[in-house]
């Protein structure tokens, strides 16, 4: 199969969808790999490294898209890339379609097949391709939050760990999944006073055991979320409903009662955000102000650490890419229920119910797609 990797064009997105080791693996299995010129440069991977691993370097995005049978990306295609869509092309990338009506319509109209990293879901409910980027975003969240709290950046001038004789920052993490758990670990390591909220009591019990009482764990409901947020210097939103829009858990009115200069970091902004006032920002212009509080809502947080993120992502995606390339997408999905859950759009039909519901569309049963001729 011809597998193509394009250079990402989203604002300050420096990740790339594959490493040279991944190229070598696919080439050794008999596949042709095409990598767009300078696609890996932002991740400190030069064209020469890909060429040495067996890839062909293409000169332009148009050439790369047109050569692909299977096209790998990191982030969702932008409007300038919609013209490359075509029937028969298989796209494998993060899509976040519940929050992307225009992209959803473009994929439907094109007739192509779109498989989303973020909805590949194992039987135990885990999200193996989203997990590494959730780990990165979770660990970044307290760091960017601490930076935003510096006075020159518009914050209150609060040092997260404090110093002897002063109070540390109060940090609330909403959600105790992969991103929230990683955010908790870094926030604790920075010396913050940390509270974690989640509806899953078993998960809170696990975190309590890990930190031996070092953190507060609270069963999440609207009353407790409001109470914790108002008392916080930094709030990290890490709530996820696979494939669906994130629930809005922090209202505008609640933000109005927070301390001036408090910071809210919304990891869930790719799925619409879990704060009422969230909207996607960029690394070039990461924050905006609501009622005197700073919102950090960068939609591609892991893009700030592309070297780490690229290798972590390839580690997770490569087995699935290999399966699709070797068996064909339909056979690969039919043989792997986790990968099958990643199918979002095929031949003008939406196969993911959460995406269909988000846009008021009629979903098509996945089984009818996988077993059709």
Q: Annotated active-site positions, please? A: 96, 270
Which residue from 361, 297, 299 is spatially nearest to 101, judged by alpha carbons? Answer: 361
349-350 and 216-219: which strand pairing? Answer: unpaired
**Dihedral angle computed from the Cα positions of residues 363, 366, 368 and 372, in that order, rounded to the nearest 10 degrees:** 120
Q: Is 48 exposed, middle or buried (0-12, 13-18, 19+ CB in 10 A)?
A: exposed
CB proximity list for 48: less than 8 A, separation 6 or greater: none
Kind and range of the H or E element at 22? helix 20-28
What's the rounded Cα separation, in Å, for the pair 114 and 334?
15
What's the rounded Cα separation, in Å, for the pair 283 and 286?
5
For the four alpha carbons of 236, 240, 245 and 249, in that order, the dihedral sign comes to negative
What's the rounded Cα separation, in Å, for the pair 75 and 50?
20
What's the rounded Cα separation, in Å, for the pair 75 and 209?
36
**Residues 102, 103, 109: CA angle, nearest 5 degrees:** 90
């Amino acid at each position: 199969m011809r597998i193509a990797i394009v250079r990402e064009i989203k604002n300050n997105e420096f990740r790339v969808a594959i490493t040279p080791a991944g190229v070598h693996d696919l080439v050794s299995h008999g596949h042709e790999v095409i990598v767009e010129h300078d696609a890996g440069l932002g991740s400190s991977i030069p064209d020469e490294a890909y060429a040495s691993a067996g890839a062909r370097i293409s000169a332009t995005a148009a050439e790369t898209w047109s050569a692909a049978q299977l096209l790998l990306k990191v982030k969702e295609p932008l409007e300038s890339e919609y013209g490359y869509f075509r029937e028969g092309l298989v796209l494998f990338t993060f899509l976040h379609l519940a929050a992307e009506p225009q992209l959803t319509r473009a994929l439907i109209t094109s007739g192509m097949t779109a498989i989303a990293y973020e909805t590949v879901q194992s039987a135990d409910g885990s999200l193996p391709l989203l997990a590494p980027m959730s780990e990165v975003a979770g660990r970044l969240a307290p760091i960017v939050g601490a930076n935003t709290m510096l006075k020159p950046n518009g914050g209150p001038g609060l040092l997260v760990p404090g110093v002897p004789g002063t109070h540390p920052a109060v940090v609330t993490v909403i959600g105790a999944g992969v991103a929230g758990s990683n955010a908790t670990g870094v926030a604790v390591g920075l010396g913050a006073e940390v509270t974690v909220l989640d509806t899953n009591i078993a998960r809170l019990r696990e975190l309590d055991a890990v930190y031996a009482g070092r953190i507060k764990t609270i069963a999440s409901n609207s009353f407790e979320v409001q109470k914790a947020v108002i008392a916080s210097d930094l709030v990290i939103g890490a709530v996820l409903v696979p494939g669906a829009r994130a629930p809005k858990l922090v209202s505008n009115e609640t933000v109005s009662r927070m301390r001036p200069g408090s910071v809210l970091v919304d990891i869930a902004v790719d799925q619409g955000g879990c704060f009422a006032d969230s909207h996607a920002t960029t690394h070039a212009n990461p924050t905006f102000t609501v009622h005197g509080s700073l919102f950090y809502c960068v939609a591609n947080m892991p893009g700030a650490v592309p070297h780490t993120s690229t290798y972590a992502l390839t580690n997770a995606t490569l087995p699935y890419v290999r399966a699709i390339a070797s068996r064909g997408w339909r056979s690969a999905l039919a043989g792997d229920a986790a990968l099958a859950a990643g199918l979002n759009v095929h031949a003008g039909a939406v196969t993911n119910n959460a995406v269909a519901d988000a846009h008021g569309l009629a979903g098509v049963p996945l089984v009818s797609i996988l077993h059709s001729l």
